[in-house]
């Protein structure tokens, strides 16, 4: 049974309403970016964390993520088969802004040098992964959540679908349980 987190609902409502003044902060956050369409030689050059390519990539990641604020703990760049995997971890960042940055990267791509790279948050290229996500929420229970035709269920379904789409994914089913 999948439950929605109050953070997810709050974040999704913020995104849908376009309310950028709403601030959701987190002590520790991390995100994986998978950059696609990079040449093999460029991917290989990133293996050396002292290379100019590596330093340029870290600088570009910092530029993209600077609106999130907080204190970056680490940025790891690695060649992940047919794409580049970047893991970013930081403290005290703004999750609302993270969602907006993620949506923009997914839509516009990651511009590095003279290349626009595709961005995925779930893996390389055409990989598709089915995962079960469980969220726990401090949300008042309504029996209407059991009825998939109810306004309450449809509203939550739309919010969750929009969040997954903004991150480049989709989901198959939503179950809300007490």
pLDDT tens string 57-102: 889 888 888 887 777 788 888 777 778 888 888 777 776 677 778 7
- Look at residue 137 and tell me if it is in a domain: yes
What's the whole-model pTM score? 0.54
- Look at residue 95 and tell me if it is in a domain: yes
DSSP one-letter string for 74-138: EEEEEE-SSSEEEEEEEEEEEHHHHHHHHHHHHHH-EEETTEEEEEESSSSTT------------
- Look at residue 79 and tell me if it is in a domain: yes
Domain of 19, CATH number, reads 3.30.70
- Look at residue 120 and tell me if it is in a domain: yes
Question: 136 or 42: which carries more pLDDT confidence?
Answer: 42
* 129: containing domain: 6-166
- Look at residue 171 and tell me if it is in a domain: no
- Look at residue 175 and tell me if it is in a domain: no
- Look at residue 65 and tell me if it is in a domain: yes
Give, as one character, the DSSP assignment of residue 18: T
Structural domain total, the chain: 1
**Mean pLDDT of the 43-54 span:** 82
- Look at residue 18 and tell me if it is in a domain: yes
pLDDT tens string 133-143: 666 666 678 88
Is the per-residue pLDDT at 39 higher than 80?
no
Question: 79 or 132: which carries more pLDDT confidence?
Answer: 79
């Amino acid at each position: 049974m999948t439950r929605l987190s109050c953070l997810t609902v709050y974040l999704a409502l913020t995104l849908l309403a376009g309310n950028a003044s709403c601030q959701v902060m987190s002590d520790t956050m991390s995100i994986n970016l998978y950059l696609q369409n990079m040449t093999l030689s460029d991917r290989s050059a990133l293996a050396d964390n002292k290379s100019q390519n590596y330093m340029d990539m870290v600088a570009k990641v910092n530029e993209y993520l600077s609106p999130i604020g907080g204190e970056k703990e680490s940025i790891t760049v690695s060649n992940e088969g047919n794409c580049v995997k970047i893991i970013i971890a930081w403290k005290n960042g703004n999750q609302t802004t993270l969602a907006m940055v993620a949506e923009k990267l997914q839509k516009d791509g990651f511009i590095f040098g003279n290349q626009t790279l595709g961005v995925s948050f779930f893996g390389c290229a055409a990989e598709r992964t089915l995962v079960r996500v469980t969220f726990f929420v401090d949300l008042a229970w309504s029996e209407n959540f059991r009825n998939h035709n109810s306004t309450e269920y449809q509203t939550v379904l739309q919010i969750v679908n929009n969040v997954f789409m903004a991150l480049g994914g989709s989901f198959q089913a939503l179950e809300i349980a007490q």
